[in-house]
Amino acid sequence: MVKVILDMDPGIDDALAIMLALNSPELEVLGITAVSGNVHVDKSSVNALRVLETMGYMDIPVYRGAATPLVKELVTAEWVHGEDGLGDAGLPMPMRKPLEGAVKFLVDMLTSERNVTLVATGPLTNIAHALLIEPQLTRRISRLILMGGAYGLTPYGYGNETPVSEFNIYVDPEAAKIVFQSGLKPLCVGLDVTTDPKATLSKNDVEKMASSSSETARTAAKIVWRFAERFGFVQLHDPMAVAASIKPDLFKTSHHHVYVVCEGELTRGQTIVEKRFWVKKEPNAEVCEQVDGPRFLEMFLERISEA
């Protein structure tokens, strides 16, 4: 069993990532650390609890983390995720309150627990803070899997916030730069694979989820319903990062040196892969360049449909 901490900004697809993780017997979720991104951390931390309690999980801790990026002003995405961040689906408010101290939780847990995988599906602010406080964490984290970046390795590897920048990296590029330069060598599940049409939910898939006998599937359908109605599909960015911790054989990856751009109206948050053969740069990331979309979708739909 893989011990995981989920660092996230719930968020429609973060909510689906929680559901997938909790319905995967391969994983033990030690806790969730929330950050500002899709919505402010005041909402994202509560949203994590809303999803957990809707699924009947009352013992997994949720910690409130960074409210703002390291340097930039916060950019959020309620226009995509709804005013409440969960598609305005009307999930009940939680009985619990988020705990304070996400960064301390990360440092303490990653220092004391062995073989912990950190799955980050939001801006990397909490992780950057943890690394600045305790640089030795690079030796303690078993693996960092992040949903972020657009690497130009597939026809789908272009930005969703700017023409070249993915949202999570765009929100806090300084934090991302710290992470990429830390020596952690993250596994990067970026837009190159998460926007592959073969790995995308259709409206028909969402309708089947809505009529499922599984309460989890029905709840997931409620959360994504407005998005699916608006765009005609649902891309499973964050669940795919969780899937990488469960079934790494779903992906083909390659090792690269990645630069993170921190400035520029169009280039802030760009993740640039060094492709010049004569430039000798040590790889600092493992980047997903292909996903078995049908197998991933089959796994996702099967697992969230389990009781």
Gap between the Cα atoms of 264 and 258, Å rounded: 18
Q: Average of pLDDT values for 114-124?
A: 96
Gap between the Cα atoms of 18 and 36, Å rounded: 17
Structural domain boundaries enclosing 229 = 2-304
pLDDT over threshold 80, residue 307: no
* φ, ψ at 44 (rounded to 5°): -65, -35
What are the C-alpha distances in Å from 138 to residues 8, 66, 179? 19, 20, 10
Per DSSP, which regions of 209-293 are E strands? 233-235, 251-256, 258-260, 271-273, 285-291
Single out the catalytic residue among 129, 237, 256, 257.
Answer: 237
Share of the chain above pLDDT 90, in %: 98
Nearest of 133, 134, 145, 128 to residue 181 by alpha carbon:
128
Using 50, 70 and 90 to split pLDDT, how confident is the model at 306? confident
- Work out how many domains the chain is built from and give that number: 1
**237 a catalytic residue:** yes
pLDDT over threshold 70, residue 6: yes
pLDDT of residue 71: 97
Per-residue pLDDT tens over the stretch 216-245: 999 999 999 999 999 999 999 999 999 999
Per-residue pLDDT tens over the stretch 17-38: 999 999 999 999 999 999 999 9
CB 110 within 8 A of CB 71: no
What are the C-alpha distances in Å from 95 to residues 50, 58, 101, 259? 9, 9, 19, 43
What CATH number is associated with residue 142?
Answer: 3.90.245.10
